[in-house]
Structure formats: structure tokens, C-alpha cells
Structure 1
Amino acid sequence: MTVNTTVLTTAHAAVVGSIPPRSHGPGASSCTWVNMSTFAAIQAVVSTGLLSVGATVSAKLEQAKDAAGTGAKDITGKAITPLTEAGDDDNVQAAINCRAADLDVNGGFTHARLTVTSAGADANTTALVFGFAPRYGTAADNKAASLVEIVP
């Protein structure tokens, strides 16, 4: 495959969602809904820091019919094996890949988001969702509002 080195990588991939780094108490945190008609695929990367004793971190991709989350449900097969303090899962990452075709398109589902759930105790986590292969314009044209700078 030939790569055009004059084109910025953010033309092809950009951050489209995030869950800020912090100590998350038990409960769920989600990024904003990503319009999958904008991208051919997304990848969610969950990263742990120090997990408190008894902590468990789960992550999954969900789908909805619009940016408001109408009809939200899980995307089949798009969840990580839970990361645990007991499993020595401090300072590790897990990735979930999803193509637009993985959504229930026949059911009218067009949006996806990442949800990370901490259980049992506090867990230092963060997550980024990347959009790949934009259908229109560049990936950076559809970046997350939280992405404040792209350096060429």
C-alpha cells in the first residue's frame, strides 16, 4: 500500500469522542454519540491507570437511531472482557473496533458511542474514540469538540 506522506493523518482519522481521564467511581460514563454515516469505522480505546482494590472496568459500544440516543441498545459482540484489579489490569489498554455495517442499519440505527462502567471501587480510566475513513471531507472536519488542537 502506498501512503501519501503529504496528507495529514487527521485527514483519515481523528478523535470523535472521549471520556476524560480521572478516577471514576462505580457507575457508567459515556462519550457523545458518533454519526456513523460520517465514518466507515470507529475504534474505541479504553485505558486504565491504577485500579482500586476490588475495581472492575467494563466497556462496550452502543447504537442509537439518532444523536439523542433514541432506542439505544448494545452493538452485538462489541464489548471488552472486564479489566480487574485482581487480574493485574493496572495501566493497560483495550480496543474495540466497529464498522458502520456492524450497526443494526435495517433497524434504523445510525449512531454509536462508547460506555465505560466502573464497578466495585474507584478506577482511574480514560477513553478515546477515533473515526476512520470519513465519507465526506476529512476526519478532522468531524472531530470531537474536546479536541482543541491539531498540529500539522
Structure 2
Amino acid sequence: MKTLNPSQVAGVVGVIDPDANAAATYTTGWIAIGDWRSLMAIVMAGSLGTSATIDAKLEQAQDATGTGVKDVPNSAITQLTQAGTDSDKQAIIECWGEDLDLVEGFTHVRLSMTVAAATSDCGAIVLGFDPRYGPASERDAATVAEIVTV
């Protein structure tokens, strides 16, 4: 029996577009952690270029403009490498509100993904789980074009 649609409990809250990304750092927008019980970032490596690496971590800030930005402790993935046969693999980072520096007023989080050495196919998505208010779909990123429920 269907009681809740998945889109009511999980929302797309951040995206790094899947593409042939040049060596650089890419980030999602800032996500208000207070809107969600937890977040899950999924980093997706496609075909990695020769000697390429991908690093990813969560960063935290005191507001939606990035004030005081610093790393969320222990959120970095193990580096994905072309030499380590990590093409076509994924890495997952999970985060709860209490993982942020709440004492210093950190309320927002974003995913940061760094591609190094060579252009590589990669992307990422951040999902928010168990919204504190209303269905998750109300807080989806503007890039979500459609939700189809069967």
C-alpha cells in the first residue's frame, strides 16, 4: 500500500551538473540544513581522464552567502583516481544537522568537488531527507523539471 511518495520524503537540493568537467573546483549552492533531518551527497565519476583525480567534501557556512566557510569535519571522500580504476564509480557523503558547527552558528552546507589533472566525466547530486516542514518536493532545486508518480 502506498502511503508516501518518495518525492515527499526526499528532495533534490543541490546539483553539480554531469559533464566533461575540466580541472577545477565545482560547488552546489548553499543548502539550509535546518530544512532537513539529513543530507546525502552522491559524487558520480564517469570516464576519468588520464591521471585525473576527483576529491569531494562538504563545506559549511553561517548563511546562504557563504559567510565563514569552512570544511565539515570528516566529510571528505577517499580520492577517486583514474589510476585506481575509479572510473564509473560513485562515492557517498552523509550529513546530519548536528555535524555542523552549530555553536558558532553554521546553518548551511554545500558540496565541493575538485577535478584535477585532466577533464573528466563527473557530476554530483545532493538529496535532502525527511523535510521538517511540508513535502520534500516543495524544496527541490529549481533544476528539477518534473516528478512523475506511477
- Give me the TM-score of the superposition, normalised by structure 1: 0.96
The runs of at least 4 consecutive aligned structure 1 residues that moved more than 4 Å come to none
SS at match of 2:34: coil
Q: Aligned runs of 1:1-152 on 2, under 5 Å?
A: 5-152=2-149
The Cα offsets for residues 83-128 of structure 1, whole Å up to 9 and x where unpaired, read as: 0000000100000000011000111000000010001111110100
Q: Which has the higher strand share?
A: 1
- Give me the TM-score of the superposition, normalised by structure 2: 0.97
Q: Which runs of 5+ in 2 are unaligned?
A: none
Counterparts of 2:47 and 2:83 in 1: how far apart (Å)? Answer: 12
Counterparts of 2:4 and 2:40 in 1: how far apart (Å)? Answer: 21
The Cα offsets for residues 25-67 of structure 1, whole Å up to 9 and x where unpaired, read as: 1110001111001001100000011001110000000000111
Residue type of the alignment partner of 1:147: V
Instruction: Using the aligned pairs only, state the percent identity.
Output: 44
Q: Which runs of 5+ in 1 are unaligned?
A: none
Counterparts of 2:7 and 2:130 in 1: how far apart (Å)? Answer: 10
**What is the CA distance between 1:138 and its match in structure 2?**
1.2
**What is the CA distance between 1:14 and its match in structure 2?**
1.1
**What is the CA distance between 1:6 and its match in structure 2?**
2.5
**What is the CA distance between 1:139 and its match in structure 2?**
1.0
SS at match of 1:124: strand
Aligned alpha-carbon RMSD (Å):
0.8
Equivalent pairs, count: 149
**What is the CA distance between 1:24 and its match in structure 2?**
1.0
